[in-house]
Amino acid sequence: MDYAVARRRMVENQIMRRNITDQSVLDAMLKTPRHLFVDEGLRPHAYSDASLPIGEKQTISQPFMVASMTAALGLQGQERILEIGTGSGYQTAILSHLVSRVYTIERIASLAGRARRIFDQLSLTNVNLKVGDGTIGWLDQAPFDGIIVTAGAPDVPTEFLDQLAVGAALIVPVGPQDRQVLLRLTRTEDGRFSREELMDCRFVPLIGEKVGPTMGSDNGRVSVSPGEEGTSRIKRIYDWVLSWAETPYAVPALVVLAFAEASFFPIPPDVLLIALSLARPQNALRYAFAAALGSTCGGILGYAIGYGLWTLVADWFFTYIPGFTPALFQQVGDLFVRYDFWTVFAAGFTPIPYKVFTIAAGVFKINLPIFILASLVSRSLRFYLVAWLLRRYGDRARAFIERYFNLLTLVVLILLVVALVFWKFFLHTQ
């Protein structure tokens, strides 16, 4: 399908014919690849005269509605605009071509994450996106030269009015779900607001602290595409893990996990490193640095446990920490005696839990600077390799995972069962 042709037809037939003549808005719509903002399966419909589902029971707005709301702001080019409800990010992208900066807020982290990746892909550098409740606005960046709300509010939220500059307009759909009206409220010099009704409309509900209970709940009627309701629990967990990349806790959590895994915790940090890098491939190397730092510091704790506390804690480790067996521990000790640096170095790449090596290094009193150096180099190499692969192929990997999610879940389950049976009947019995 030739998307450029589809886009031109969309602008001519759906926008210009309905009397939107602002050339800068038409140009922005002509150059914004709307098909990138919807799932692959919906791309043939991306330029149709309709809103489309984007997951999480939300929608990308109809092209005409995006054009109308944008034109209603009366933009000159130097504005700072606040958008509430990033959704797919399409409206944000259109605005980013027309103003100096767009501040946009989305309450659903997985949608925000997807939008952010498209902004990166399109090199939209004048967008500030945050995840949270947009009904309180964005106080520390106010006042704005325009505010656009892309979800329906029961009444005009006063917070938005307070954050408008003089002469600036708030564009907001207001009213019950089946009788919404798009309003433009403009702040006048005397501090009042002029109010205009632009057209009837129908938006998904604005949900948040500062909206009334009539629509501010998930019970609002929202049109949902077939299949969206059936999102599996595992897919929701997957989305939830990926959405971590959009929170400020992502990097600290990775440091803590890498630190803990190097001394006592059983789950390797690669799990979180991979999830975060899939969510935001452009940050993958940063995540690798965090994991390497956490793991090296945790390794020093492991070394200290082995060095000073081993006689007290050995039984506990052998009983409760997976991967710790006296035989393996002795083997690692023998390796240390012969090749100290290379044992720690190679340990960074083996599936044997890293803590076995860090604690053994302390027990067998390996030279500490050599241990730290080997840890730092090997853990960095390992995590940077994972991150580099995801930075390079992460987008494709994620598209593949999401396209074949159910099938992949089944394959992983079967492999797990086979591995368990194999372990129980062939390895464990010997």
Number of residues that bind ligand SAM (CB under 6 A): 25
Q: Which CB sits closer to ligand SAM, 203 or 357?
A: 203
Q: Does 215 bind ligand SAM (CB under 6 A)?
A: no
User: Which range in 133-141, 256-264, 269-277, 347-355 contacts ligand SAM by CB under 6 A?
Assistant: 133-141
Q: Which CB sits closer to ligand SAM, 6 or 344?
A: 6
Among 53, 63, 113, 134, binds ligand SAM (CB under 6 A): 134
Q: Which CB sits closer to ligand SAM, 224 or 352?
A: 224
Separation between Cα atoms, residue 83 and residue 63, nearest integer Å: 16
Q: Does 91 bind ligand SAM (CB under 6 A)?
A: yes
Q: Does 153 bind ligand SAM (CB under 6 A)?
A: no
Among 122, 207, 300, 359, binds ligand SAM (CB under 6 A): 207
User: Which range in 10-18, 201-209, 230-238, 268-276 contacts ligand SAM by CB under 6 A?
Assistant: 201-209
Q: Does 106 bind ligand SAM (CB under 6 A)?
A: yes
Q: Does 70 bind ligand SAM (CB under 6 A)?
A: no
Q: Which CB sits closer to ligand SAM, 134 or 353?
A: 134
Q: Does 208 bind ligand SAM (CB under 6 A)?
A: yes
Which one, of 43, 32, 25, 42, lies nearest residue 7 by Cα? 32
Q: Does 102 bind ligand SAM (CB under 6 A)?
A: no
Catalytic residue, chosen from 24, 51, 61, 68, is 61
Residue 161: both structure tokens together: 């009015």
Q: Does 81 bind ligand SAM (CB under 6 A)?
A: no
CA dihedral 231→233→235→239, nearest 10 degrees, is: 110
Site string for ligand SAM, 41-60 (x = CB under 6 A): -----------------xxx
Pairing of strands 58-60, 80-84: unpaired
Q: How far is the CB of 91 from ligand SAM (least distance, A)?
A: 4
Q: Does 107 bind ligand SAM (CB under 6 A)?
A: yes
Q: Does 105 bind ligand SAM (CB under 6 A)?
A: yes
Q: Which CB sits closer to ligand SAM, 83 or 261?
A: 83
Q: Does 150 bind ligand SAM (CB under 6 A)?
A: yes
Q: Which CB sits closer to ligand SAM, 137 or 298?
A: 137
> What residues contact residue 258 under an 8 Å CB cut-off, 6+ apart?
269, 290, 291, 292, 293, 294, 295, 298, 379
Indicate if 88 belongs to the active site.
no
Residue in this structure with the two tokens 């692969």, named with its chain if needed:
389
Among 14, 96, 135, 186, binds ligand SAM (CB under 6 A): 135
User: Which range in 72-80, 104-112, 223-231, 363-371 contacts ligand SAM by CB under 6 A?
Assistant: 104-112
User: Which range in 100-108, 242-250, 332-340, 351-359 contacts ligand SAM by CB under 6 A?
Assistant: 100-108
Q: Which CB sits closer to ligand SAM, 67 or 257?
A: 67
Q: Does 206 bind ligand SAM (CB under 6 A)?
A: yes
Separation between Cα atoms, residue 328 and residue 339, nearest integer Å: 16
User: Which range in 190-198, 204-212, 325-333, 338-346 contacts ligand SAM by CB under 6 A?
Assistant: 204-212
Q: Does 152 bind ligand SAM (CB under 6 A)?
A: no
Query: How would you write the chain as a 3-class SS string?
Result: CCHHHHHHHHHHHHHHHHCCCCHHHHHHHHHCCHHHHCCHHHHHHCCCCCCEEEECCEEECCHHHHHHHHHHCCCCCCCEEEEECCCCCHHHHHHHCCCCEEEEEECCHHHHHHHHHHHHHCCCCCEEEEECCHHHCCHHHCCEEEEEECCEECCCCHHHHHCEEEEEEEEEEECCCCCEEEEEEEECCCCCEEEEEEEEECCCECCCCCCCCCCCCCCCCCCCCCCCCCCCHHHHHHHHHHHHHHCCCHHHHHHHHHHHHCCCCCCCCHHHHHHHHHHCHHHHHHHHHHHHHHHHHHHHHHHHHHHHHHHHHHHHHHHHCCCCCHHHHHHHHHHHHHCHHHHHHHHCCCCCCHHHHHHHHHHCCCCHHHHHHHHHHHHHHHHHHHHHHHHHHHHHHHHHHHHCHHHHHHHHHHHHHHHHHHHHHHHCCC
Q: Does 119 bind ligand SAM (CB under 6 A)?
A: no
Q: Does 262 bind ligand SAM (CB under 6 A)?
A: no
Tell me which residues are annotated as active site.
61
Residues that bind ligand SAM (CB under 6 A): 58-61, 84-85, 87-88, 90-91, 105-108, 111, 133-135, 150-151, 203-204, 206-208
